[in-house]
């Protein structure tokens, strides 16, 4: 179910093309992808949850980068909040953006603090980390056409966000309620953590 890049002769997944560019080559798979934001049917969600359970039970390949629950844009946002008292000159929309940040500064600081507390709580639980896709939305799920393809099991594409993380990193985007989480728990042996899902 993993559409992975073809390795180079030396086993790498990425070939550098100078200081600014790199290339990966993937095998061609015929099929139909969904779209980001598309609502999956119960059967489609179930198949994807079963697939994620299989992924999350798999052995961790070495090396695999670890996902940090800290917000990847948190430092940028903190810097913007610190600088919203003086003019921004970064382009034609800089001042408009500064005004939006300044108007929402209190709420943004509150949300950053809440996120930091949540990240510390989840990290403190010491939960098992697994291989996660990172973006298992319908746009990254390919359905092969025709019968005889492993029961028409979906394929996961776009693995640039793969990381070692809590399983909930994938689940929050797929599960829509308790029935989905129960299905995942039965298939994976892991009961999802509500704090990590949040």
**Mean pLDDT value across residues 120-144:** 88
pLDDT at residue number 67? 84
SS3 151: helix
Phi, psi values for residue 165, rounded to 5°: -160, 175
Superfamily grouping for domain 15-66+129-197: Transferase(Phosphotransferase) domain 1 (1.10.510.10)
Per the listing, tokens 């990172």 go with 134
Peptide bond into 158 cis (omega under 30): no
Expressed in percent and rounded to 5, the helix, strand and coil fractions of the chain are 40, 10, 50
Q: For residue range 86-115, what is the model confidence (pLDDT) as tens digits?
A: 999 989 999 999 999 999 999 999 999 988
| Model pLDDT for residues 137-195, shown as the tens digit of each residue | 999 999 876 545 445 678 999 888 899 999 999 999 999 999 999 999 999 999 999 88
In the 8-state DSSP scheme, what is residue 20? S
CA within 13 Å, CB half, 28: 1
- Domain spans in the chain, listed from the N-terminal domain onward: 15-66+129-197, 74-119
How confident is the model at residue 149, as a pLDDT?
46
pLDDT at 63 over 90: no
Q: What is the DSSP letter of 129?
A: P
pTM of the model: 0.78
């Amino acid at each position: 179910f993993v559409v992975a890049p073809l390795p180079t002769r030396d086993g790498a997944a990425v070939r550098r093309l100078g200081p600014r560019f790199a290339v990966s080559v993937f095998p061609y798979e015929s099929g139909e992808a969904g779209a980001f934001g598309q609502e999956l049917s119960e059967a489609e969600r179930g198949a994807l949850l079963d697939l994620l359970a299989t992924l999350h039970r798999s052995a961790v390949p070495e090396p695999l980068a670890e996902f940090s629950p800290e917000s990847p844009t948190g430092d940028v946002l903190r810097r913007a909040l610190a600088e919203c008292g003086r003019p921004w000159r970064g382009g034609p929309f800089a001042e408009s953006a500064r005004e939006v940040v300044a108007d929402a500064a209190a709420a943004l600081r509150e949300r950053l603090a809440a996120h930091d507390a949540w990240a510390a709580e989840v990290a403190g639980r010491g939960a098992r980390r697994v291989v996660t896709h990172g973006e298992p939305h319908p746009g990254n799920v390919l359905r092969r056409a025709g019968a005889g393809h492993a029961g028409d099991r979906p394929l996961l594409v776009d693995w640039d966000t793969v990381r070692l993380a809590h399983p909930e990193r994938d689940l929050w985007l797929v599960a829509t309620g308790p029935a989905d989480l129960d299905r995942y728990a039965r298939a994976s042996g892991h009961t999802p953590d509500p704090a990590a899902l949040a």
